[in-house]
Chain A
Amino acid sequence: MKTNILGVYDDEHDILHAVDKLQDGGIPVKDVFSPFPMHHVWEKLNLTTRLPYATFIYGVVGGIMTFALLYWTSVVSYPLKFGGKPLNTLSFIIIMFVITILIGTIFTAATFFIRQKLWPGKESKLPDGRSADDKFVLVVEKTEGMPEEEVTKIKDLLTETGAVEVNESNVDYED
């Protein structure tokens, strides 16, 4: 069973300082729960995402596929003449443009949900529910066999940096 040490903060600035402090103290900060996104935290925790690359690939593939479909249907499969225009017309651009966006949007959203493992009705496992309201929660993993003084040190450090509460939680949330 994994146990986490939670430091609950009221203020976003406090928790930023706390992250700095803990990291300075060589204590790995596992995670930070907040009611809104905090860029500083991501920098501190060295978090990155490759979602934009995925989106780019979706767009490129989608665009090419759309053109292929349009070209194949109107030039190869069943060529029909409309209003004296050539079979392979400029107006394909409009549909390609829109469908590219559509494919990009849908697949980006899908990738996000899959990557983040979100689905309707997924059980939420928040270490501290208040982090969705007005609290900021700093999570430090209490590894197996972590010496007691280490735990106390972390807890003290948390209190020191302005945590209003310091708890331990068994909630095993999936990151």
Chain B
Amino acid sequence: MDKQYWQSLEDYRETKTKSDFSKKAEPEFSIEGLDESEIKAKSSRRDFLKMLGFSVSAVALVSSCQMPVRKAIPLLNQPEELTPGVANYFASTFFDGTDYCSILVKTRENRPIKIEGNDMSKLTKGGTSSRVQASVLNLYDDARLKGPMKSGNATDWETADKEVIEKLTVLADEGKKVVLLTSTIISPSTTALIEEFTLANPNVEWVMYDAMSMSAIRNANDLNFGRPVIPSYSFDKAKVIVGFNADYLGNWLMPVTFSKQYSSSRKISGKNPKMSRSYQFESLMSLTGSNADYRFGIKPSEEAIVLLNLYNKIAESTGMSVYNAPKSPVDVTDVATDLLKNKGKSLVVSGTNELNIQLIVNAINNALGNYGTTLNISLPVNLKQGNEKAMEALVKDMNAGKVDGILIQNVNPAYDYSNASDFKTGLAKVDTKVSFADTMDETAQLCDYVLPDHNYLESWNDAEPIRGSYSIMQPTIRPIFNTRQFQDTMLKWMGNDGDFSDYMENNWKTMLADSTNFESDWNNIKHDGVYHAKVESDELSNFSAQSLKARTSKNVDIELVPYEKIGMGIGKYSNNPWLQEMPDPITTTTWDNYLAISPAYADDNNLKLEDIVEVNGIEMPVLVQPGQPVGTASVAVGYGRTSAGKAGDGRGFNAFGFKFGESITINKIAGKTYPLAMTQMHHDMEERPIVRETTFDQFKKDPKSGNELHTYDEKHNVTLYNKIKYDGLHWGMSIDLTSCTGCANCVIACQAENNVPVIGKEQVKNRRIMHWMRIDRYYSKDEANPEVFHMPVMCQHCDNAPCENVCPVAATNHSTEGLNQMAYNRCIGTRYCMNNCPYKVRRFNWFEFVNNNNFDYNMNSELGKLVLNPDVTVRQRGVVEKCSMCVQRIQEGKLTAKMQDRELREGDIKMACEQSCPTDAITFGNLLDENSAIKEDQDNPRMYHLLESLHTLPSTSYLTRVRNNES
């Protein structure tokens, strides 16, 4: 173990001993096994090897020179559960104020290195999203605050506590208004704590704020059912799903849960396959729209019209009141018919935060009898509790000088509030400003005190995303910095010296009042990470119909649609280089946002990719987006952070100022361009059989439909040599293109698992992205409303691998288990294999991506390197790398089986991409195992290999894309 690093880590937590709040001492951070990764991090050895190659003789002369001494530092006291070199998994919960996910945290030597999905959860069912996958890197973010700050200077907790408590006491005594501004809080214990706090301090008002609010749904349900709630949705029970600007597979409410549900209703298997049908009406090309069976482009202002027309069509046949509606721009008869055919088994959702629209949606769902089946009001979703009315009032009050103290937790309105400048001027008028932000974000900068919260991987918490579904967040690492959990701070201020984990446990004692053995139940819950309480659906009050209306659509030039990108969301993780570099599933753009305009508009106005336009005083690059409805433009929020950190600052522009459906004028700035780094520049399949598709009807008639070429190729492929025979093990993977939504969760999962470096915008622009797996996206048919295909491509592990033949130094060859192995240290970097790979899945280390100031991302930071997987080599400059089919996982699985003296079982080994796939599109297993799922996929009539006419005999196969539509 390297000394320097050790010391610096010590520095990081030199004050830890002082803050004695975490009495459940997590084990010491450093142990012997860590050295593997450590060596990688310092790479002194690699430098040495480099020297070796350069001048052998010169070095040989002085070969008495010493090798670097490596220290192995054992633990003073080794905790029982910790075995150096063996990974531990802890069930925990990801919740950042917006997204919820039940997770397992993989730790090595007590440092989290990977997030996996938790199969025990009934909500997320082992799925994650790219943001969840990348969140582990936030833990090792250099931009995190190292300790409490006062007016921009470091202070200590005693001082900060003393001063803040003093101020708050004064404010309380004077009865002046203090606002606790938080993100949505779904933790019952935290809620209890905050309620206790507000009870003790009646001058404190608690306001929850969401950057992208969904309060209209709550308001509509309040009107319709008398309950201001968001119902829980069951996409799995719906036969027909109609979405209106609701990107439920990407960003809307609970994308992981919905993806699981959606894909489960579209799994084609068995003798009588069933498949749901999805319609999507949207004003931009969203991930959901790209996967929908039918997609319609509408303007934001037309949404209400279309919905009302749809309602009228349904109402006509169900005998409900019909309202006046302008003529729909889209013919909704077919949709209505389809919905009516599936009454009670359909679902209509809208993502537009407009009361009127949500009322129509509710009315339609009511008319279809979907309440109680696909929507459940009595099991409400606790996410998105933010109320923009309250927020507006707060900003008004602040500006009026009516607020004297503000405590800001987990929100950044100075950046993401639609009227951020008002918020900022208001904030300036507040006397006492305390932020609990863990980085010096835009809001924290304006605060007097910044009392940094733990990262969620360092915290205790619980969550109740949907009534009755609980999950637990537990720390998986000792706090790296001198931070303190927000809840602990609250407790401290309330004069409670206990810490939040005790508070939480007590809270759970009351919640589990019936429990006969709390200790064991509580331990079980902590072990599983989730707890599903038995909830009785309460009686549903009658639907109280509201009058519905729709204004005629505006006749303006362009209506703007702000949206969240799959990776970046609301910009909270702007400083996460993994997410910044994650190619957007639709546009494949990295590192930037842009104004997406329709091809027709681009032609008319002579705009092309990377041109710069000006909208409302903001200059932005243009991206021509097929499928962007005419008369609309869309722009992603979450960019343009100014105080996020090295990776996030100055990326793109801030689009939070734009309102949904705002009409804009686009002014071209002639002669100026702005480079956009995209990972894919050609969007047409060129009529090649790459993604094979069929429709569900055709599939039912002939399961081989769309895949006729497979039979042809199988028959026509001849070979000089015999096929390789495998004994015992032959790893294979299959990817169901029908299930895959292209959400890119797997891309980040792979990056986290395999130490894939981040290379920055410029190199992405040079088409050198290092991701071992990419998601190819093709458009076909109509440019104005194309069909979209997502296809994950990684190394296909061909049995007749073209790459293996051409490596002169035998650095890549075939294993007896069917893997195409790549020995990095043998590679001399001729790049011949990259050329000869027809799938172009091999990656070259064009530069040294580790410890290189030109690539100042997580691998150039002592802290950031802690996320590296110690089982995977960090590749040197000049070597080729590629998907290894997570061979470290294979080896680990085999070893476990051997140690347990048993044969390998299905599910022993899961690939990083497979494990957390929210749609279960990826299957991995032993092709020689007759009973395995992968074998079943191999025999599936939909199975084909990518570019199988080349007779590369890949071990990875694809299943035809089936769309449930007519064309």
Contact = CB atoms under 8 A, between A and B. Distances in A.
Check if A and B associate: yes
Interface of A: 80-86
> Counting chain A CB atoms within 10 Å of each CB, which of B723, B804, B807, B953 scores highest?
B804
B721 A82 contact: no
B192 interface: no
A83 B954 CA distance: 11
A86 B814 CA distance: 12
Contacts of B810: 80, 82
Contacts of B801: 82-84
Contact of A86 (B721, B799, B805, B807): B721
B11 to A, nearest CB: 48
B813 A85 contact: no
A84 B815 CA distance: 10
A85 B952 CA distance: 12
B802 interface: yes
B813 A84 contact: no
Nearest to A78: B810
Nearest to B805: A83
A86 B800 CA distance: 11
A85 B806 CA distance: 12
A14 B152 CA distance: 107
B724 interface: yes
A84 B802 CA distance: 9
Contacts of A86: 721
B818 to A, nearest CB: 10
A82 B813 contact: yes
Nearest to B802: A83
Contacts of A82: 801, 804-805, 807, 810, 813-814
A81 B953 CA distance: 15
Contacts of B813: 80-82
Nearest to A81: B814
A80 B807 CA distance: 12
Interface string B935-958: 000000000000000000100000
Contacts of B804: 81-83
Report the 3 A-B pairs with minimum CB-CB distance, sorted nearest first: A84-B800, A83-B805, A81-B814
B349 to A, nearest CB: 50
Contact of A85 (B721, B798, B815, B953): B721
Interface of B: 721, 723-724, 798-805, 807, 810, 813-815, 953
B721 to A, nearest CB: 6
A85 B810 CA distance: 14
Contacts of B723: 84
A78 to B, nearest CB: 9
B724 A81 contact: yes
Contacts of A80: 810, 813-814
B127 to A, nearest CB: 36
A75 to B, nearest CB: 14
Nearest to A90: B720
Nearest to A85: B721
Given A81-B815, A83-B805, A85-B805, 16 more contacts: A80-B813, A81-B724, A81-B814, A82-B804, A82-B813, A82-B814, A83-B798, A83-B802, A83-B803, A84-B721, A84-B723, A84-B798, A84-B799, A84-B814, A84-B953, A85-B721
Nearest to B814: A81
Contacts, number: 35
Contacts of B803: 83
A84 B810 CA distance: 14
B715 to A, nearest CB: 19
Contacts of A85: 721, 805
Nearest to A84: B800
Nearest to B723: A84
A80 B798 CA distance: 15
A101 to B, nearest CB: 20
A82 B799 CA distance: 9
A70 to B, nearest CB: 13
Nearest to A80: B813
A84 B801 CA distance: 7
B112 to A, nearest CB: 38
A83 B798 CA distance: 8
A64 B721 CA distance: 25
Contacts of B800: 83-84
A112 B295 CA distance: 82
A86 B721 CA distance: 7
> Counting chain B CB atoms within 10 Å of each CB, which of A80, A81, A83, A85 scores highest?
A83
A15 B807 CA distance: 61
Nearest to B813: A80
A95 to B, nearest CB: 11
A32 to B, nearest CB: 49
A20 to B, nearest CB: 60
30 contacts: A80-B813, A80-B814, A81-B724, A81-B804, A81-B813, A81-B815, A82-B801, A82-B804, A82-B805, A82-B807, A82-B813, A82-B814, A83-B798, A83-B800, A83-B801, A83-B802, A83-B803, A83-B804, A83-B814, A84-B721, A84-B723, A84-B724, A84-B798, A84-B799, A84-B800, A84-B801, A84-B814, A84-B953, A85-B721, A86-B721
A82 B810 CA distance: 8
Contacts of B802: 83
A83 B814 CA distance: 7
A80 B815 CA distance: 8
> Counting chain B CB atoms within 10 Å of each CB, which of A81, A84, A86 scores highest?
A84
A84 B954 CA distance: 11
Nearest to B836: A83
A80 B821 CA distance: 11
Contacts of A84: 721, 723-724, 798-801, 814, 953
Nearest to B951: A84
Nearest to B801: A83
B611 to A, nearest CB: 46
Nearest to B724: A84
A85 B805 CA distance: 8
Contacts of A83: 798, 800-805, 814
B872 to A, nearest CB: 22
A32 B721 CA distance: 62
A81 B804 CA distance: 8
B355 to A, nearest CB: 63
A82 B798 CA distance: 11
Contacts of B815: 81
A85 B803 CA distance: 12
A85 B953 CA distance: 13
Nearest to A91: B805
A81 B818 CA distance: 10
A142 to B, nearest CB: 55
A16 B723 CA distance: 70
A31 B423 CA distance: 110
A11 to B, nearest CB: 57
A117 B824 CA distance: 50
A91 to B, nearest CB: 9
B835 to A, nearest CB: 14
Contacts of A81: 724, 804, 813-815
A83 B804 CA distance: 5
A72 to B, nearest CB: 15
A24 B953 CA distance: 80
A86 B723 CA distance: 10
A85 B719 CA distance: 10
Nearest to A86: B721
A83 B802 CA distance: 6
A134 B802 CA distance: 61
B753 to A, nearest CB: 26
Contacts of B807: 82
A82 B721 CA distance: 12
Nearest to A79: B813
A85 B721 CA distance: 7
A165 B804 CA distance: 72
Nearest to A89: B721
A83 to B, nearest CB: 4
A157 B798 CA distance: 84
Contacts of B798: 83-84
A130 B805 CA distance: 59
